[in-house]
């Protein structure tokens, strides 16, 4: 059973105003108009709408709360969640290649497959990797028993395969010139090549003064 409170990031005692605020914030973030041709955002947006339509209607919310409570109580308190299987048909793939993953969990009432979001306790998903990070694509399966407040996690790492060495070199070169995420060590998000050049210049200056001090 889907946990609509989880979808909206609110507690079960949230007020009507809390529900509206959460919906407005998330619908703007995941709206398809801002994320064209992205199945993840489209699926997430549908989940948010479904959650809001149920929880914003007082009658439907009461019925939903009763069903949710009954569903949660069907899980035994003394058995922690478990991941029985989490597999991928490929662990090496090219960009744009189709991947199929399968999973099965036990004693879990909240199941997530990241980066996709909430899923059923068992299932299959077919997708294509459009972007690798440092040559890798990470999948994580979270299985949670909310009554025990326990979660187990299992991951799959898919590594990028290149058509040939030229493509690999080009991808590496593009990565050098691509802007990086802003961090305390790199507040301006400078590309790797700029930081490498700066490091070489600093090293050259240091060597120059070191040689000069001995002359």
pLDDT digits (tens, 9 = 90+) for 5-28: 888 888 888 999 999 999 999 888
- Percentage with pLDDT > 90 across the chain: 35
Strand, helix or coil for residue 71: helix
Domains, in order of start, for the chain: 4-73 (1.10.287.110), 82-160 (2.60.40), 165-214 (no CATH)
pLDDT digits (tens, 9 = 90+) for 118-163: 888 889 999 999 889 889 999 999 998 877 788 999 999 999 987 6
Strand, helix or coil for residue 67: helix
How far is 145 from 152, CA to CA, in rounded Å? 9
What does pTM read for this prediction? 0.51
Per the CB < 8 A criterion, the answer to whether 69 and 146 are in contact is no
């Amino acid at each position: 059973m889907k946990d609509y409170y989880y979808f909206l990031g609110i507690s079960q005692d949230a007020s009507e105003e809390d529900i509206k605020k959460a919906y407005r914030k998330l619908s703007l973030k995941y709206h398809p108009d801002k994320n064209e041709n992205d199945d993840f955002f489209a699926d997430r947006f549908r989940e948010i709408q479904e959650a809001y339509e149920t929880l914003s209607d007082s009658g439907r919310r009461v019925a939903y709360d009763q069903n949710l409570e009954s569903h949660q109580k069907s899980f035994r308190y003394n058995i922690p969640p478990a991941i029985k299987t989490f597999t991928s048909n490929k662990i090496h793939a090219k960009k744009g290649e189709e991947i199929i993953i399968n999973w099965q969990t036990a004693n879990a009432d909240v199941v997530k497959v990241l980066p996709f979001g909430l899923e059923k306790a068992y299932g299959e998903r077919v997708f294509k990797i459009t972007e690798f990070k440092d040559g890798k694509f990470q999948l994580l399966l979270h299985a949670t028993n909310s009554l025990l407040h326990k979660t187990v996690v299992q991951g799959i790492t898919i590594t990028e395969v290149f058509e040939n060495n030229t493509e690999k070199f080009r991808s590496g070169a593009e990565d050098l010139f691509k802007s990086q995420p802003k961090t305390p060590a790199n507040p301006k998000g400078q590309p790797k090549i700029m930081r490498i050049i700066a490091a070489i210049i600093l090293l050259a200056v240091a060597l120059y003064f070191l040689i000069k001090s001995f002359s």
